[in-house]
Amino acid sequence: MKTIQVVFTKSTKKLPVFSWLIQWAEHTDYSHVAIRMIDSETQLPIYYQSSHTMVNCMGEEEFLAEEKILNSFEFQIDDSLQVAFHAFAIKQLGKPYGVVSTVGLGWVQLNKLFGRKTTNPFKQVGATYVCSQFVAALLENANVPTLQQQDLDDMIPAGLFPIIASLPSTLIAKAA
């Protein structure tokens, strides 16, 4: 069995306006979500995320220089799921950050202020990702029924948090 972590963070940059805006809109103390895995060759921790204009990975020192971890959820996974997670993440590296999707998520949040329920009008998951969409899409490789019932285009960190918090400590691959 291998260990992964889903981490919820906030920016430690000088003026993290975008981070503050997400925290305000979602009523959370965090604004970002990433996956921490151990690289099988180097045994070093790496963080897969969608930020800085694209899906990327960072070493732990660099990640922690930019983000403060507020919540961390640890899961045990078997080797085949570890390979599936790494393969998915690597295939997504370099895909653009979902700027247009973010506008759509803002539209959803704005409507929520007026008591209206709507969905993200910009369906781009797979072509682009915001952080929560990327983590949710990666976890779809595991047998997570709650995620399989969600529209990933509408996934925000505050929507992903209760799903992650409710997961069992051991994740298994979806049946083929």
Quote the pLDDT of residue 75.
Answer: 95
Dihedral sign computed on CA atoms, order 84, 128, 54, 112: negative
H or E segment at 9?
strand 2-11
H or E segment at 77?
strand 67-77
The answer to whether the CB of 133 falls within 8 A of the CB of 101 is yes
Quote the pLDDT of residue 20.
Answer: 94
- Print pLDDT tens along the chain (176 aa): 899 999 999 999 999 999 998 999 899 999 999 999 999 899 999 999 999 899 999 999 999 999 999 999 999 998 888 988 999 999 999 999 999 998 998 898 888 888 899 899 998 899 999 999 999 999 987 777 777 777 899 999 999 999 999 999 998 877 65
The answer to whether the CB of 32 falls within 8 A of the CB of 67 is yes
